[in-house]
Structure 1
Amino acid sequence: MTHPASPPPGRYRTFRPVPPLERPTLHRQAVRVLLVGHGPEGEQVLLFEDTDPGVPGVSWWMTPGGGVDPGESELQAAVRELAEETGLVVAAEQLVGPVARREVVHGYSDQVITQSESFWLLELDRFEVDVAGHTEEEQLTIQQHRWWPLAELETTAALIWPAELVELVRAGRAGGPARELGRQEESTLPVAVPRGFDACVLAGGRARRLGGASKPDVEVRGRRLLDHVLGAVAGASATVVVAPDSVAVPDRVVRVSERPAGGGPVAGAVAGLAALAEGRTPEPVTALLACDSPFLATAVPRLLAALQADPEAAGAVLTDADGRPQWLSGFYRTNALRAALAGTDGRDRAVRSVLGGLPLLTVPAVGLEAVDLDTWDQVSALHP
């Protein structure tokens, strides 16, 4: 369960995504319980599937546990958390540990939690889990619980936090001092904001399937589409938005129009790159993004890492669930991008015809990272 140091009345998280650099940080002490159930099916570990409402389509599995309340010992907190999250009441002496300790940082779309964490082991007969004690927050984010076969946890592709869960169960059974896991990160939106790149966000177009509405100003989950994308590239050295004058942009962002106006995304990219080079030396990498993909933030570190790992590649782009490259969800070497756009004003050119010939890396999207919103039905489907 989540217990802030000084909890305000009611639910204290809004779950409204904020720009990565503006996320508030909470520090706390916490406990986790490795709960192993024995039964006819063999050894199984109880885990909860949790989510971050600001990063739809992504989930992970975690152990019971949460923050240590003022005046509690770690062991008392572990006993209380078990009762609240699973309905199980046990005596403190039934828990073994601490099995391990670590410093962990959780970067979510709305906040960052850093905590000193201890792990405890409890083995008993499998029981029926009672989630009636879950808080309002947990009812919102936790999707289900499951008794996972211990052996399956070693081979599953699902995201398990902590990754060393099976090792820690074995360590707890072996006894000895607590393992020191050091500092780790388990984030839906990484805490370290990538830097060393420029960003060009294309926010023009006629939005015919939106009835001519200003697409960058359409709101999804409390923020404009444009603001979602600008938040994803908050670490950019310089950012240009290609959009009509009617679209408001933050003070730190330059707005330009494609030449000719209404000339399409390639014309927008030409104008954006020219603006990024005006009066300065551009960064060696440029993000080229469309404003209608609001969940790109978690993909940014992976795209940059892929490009940095292969000096021969001209860029790295997301691919959707069908494996199709998303040319406007990518990071490109600036020189390669400028060369591809040279000699054209971009008017009515297809993006694929300009960028498809570059030697590009493809990075599979996770969750809804590659989604783009072209209709009101698509927008409505994303509202909780």
Structure 2
Amino acid sequence: MTDFHPRRAARVLLVDASGRVLLFAGFDPARPGHRYWFTPGGGLEPGGESPAAGAARELAEETGLRLTPAELGAPVHSETIEFPFNGVWYRQEQEFFVVRVPTWQVDTAGFDDIERASVTGHHWWSVAELADTDERCYPVDLAALLARVLATTPTSEASC
């Protein structure tokens, strides 16, 4: 039986005016051949950081887009996943927020050391691209999640 490290996280579906979602390309340092695409976000700070506060903090660190937790609104999706990263197995409860922007120039200056070492780029993906790709994307049902979010969330955009 695997011992899992429990973790709470917040992730952001950053969506541009064309309905494309921002994903980062990365790999697991302990398994360099395990490459994948993933949404901005990450673990909540110890001491009770709220998911909205964590999502806003991670969004600023990873993309340069600064929003208040209130501007993120309510989560649009939640899930519990289990995965290894850098030799540690995690059981992660995560919530997803959606942020719409007309466009955004990604600024990764706020990356931490592990992000600088394991993130290799970024790309804006459409629902069709996600549905058609053979590349590994997380969450695994991202195409369906993005399609649902685009159909059910208001199109008002964050002021950037």
- Is contact 2:127–2:146 with CA below 8 Å preserved after alignment? no
- Is contact 2:15–2:21 with CA below 8 Å preserved after alignment? yes
Q: Which position in structure 1 is the counterpart of 2:127?
A: 150
Task: State yes or no: 1:117 paired with 2:62.
Answer: no
Q: Which position in structure 1 is the counterpart of 2:157?
A: none
TM-score, normalising length: structure 2: 0.85
What is the rounded CA distance, in whole Å, between the counterparts of 1:145 and 1:26 in structure 2? 28
State the shift of 1:119 in Å: 1.0
Q: Say if 1:79 and 1:71 are closer, same or farther in 2 by CA, change over 3 A.
A: same
Mean CA deviation greater in 115-124 or 143-152: 143-152
Q: Which position in structure 2 is the counterpart of 1:347?
A: none
Given the alignment, which residue of 124, 131, 134 partners 2:108?
Answer: 131
Task: State yes or no: 1:36 paired with 2:15.
Answer: yes
State the shift of 1:109 in Å: 5.5
| Equivalenced residues, count | 151
State the shift of 1:127 in Å: 1.0
- Is contact 1:85–1:133 with CA below 8 Å preserved after alignment? yes
Q: Which position in structure 1 is the counterpart of 2:23?
A: 47
What is the rounded CA distance, in whole Å, between the counterparts of 1:74 and 1:109 in structure 2? 23
Q: Say if 1:155 and 1:57 are closer, same or farther in 2 by CA, change over 3 A.
A: same
Identity %: 36
Instruction: Note the 1:2-41 alignment, pairs <5 A.
Output: 25-38=4-17
What is the rounded CA distance, in whole Å, between the counterparts of 1:113 and 1:75 in structure 2? 21
- SS of 2:117's equivalent in the other structure is helix
Q: Which position in structure 2 is the counterpart of 1:62?
A: 38
Q: Name which one, 1 or 2, has greater alpha-carbon Rg.
A: 1
- Is contact 1:97–1:172 with CA below 8 Å preserved after alignment? no
- Is contact 1:32–1:120 with CA below 8 Å preserved after alignment? yes
What is the rounded CA distance, in whole Å, between the counterparts of 1:89 and 1:67 in structure 2? 18
Q: Which position in structure 2 is the counterpart of 1:305?
A: none
Show structure 2 runs of 5+ residues with no match. Answer: 154-160
Show structure 1 runs of 5+ residues with no match. Answer: 1-20, 176-384
Q: For the aligned residues, what is the CA RMSD?
A: 1.9
TM-score, normalising length: structure 1: 0.37
State the shift of 1:98 in Å: 1.2
- Is contact 1:96–1:172 with CA below 8 Å preserved after alignment? no
What is the rounded CA distance, in whole Å, between the counterparts of 1:105 and 1:129 in structure 2? 28
- Is contact 2:73–2:97 with CA below 8 Å preserved after alignment? yes
- Is contact 1:53–1:141 with CA below 8 Å preserved after alignment? yes
Between Structure 1 and Structure 2, which shows a larger proportion of strand residues? Answer: 2
Q: Say if 1:60 and 1:95 are closer, same or farther in 2 by CA, change over 3 A.
A: same
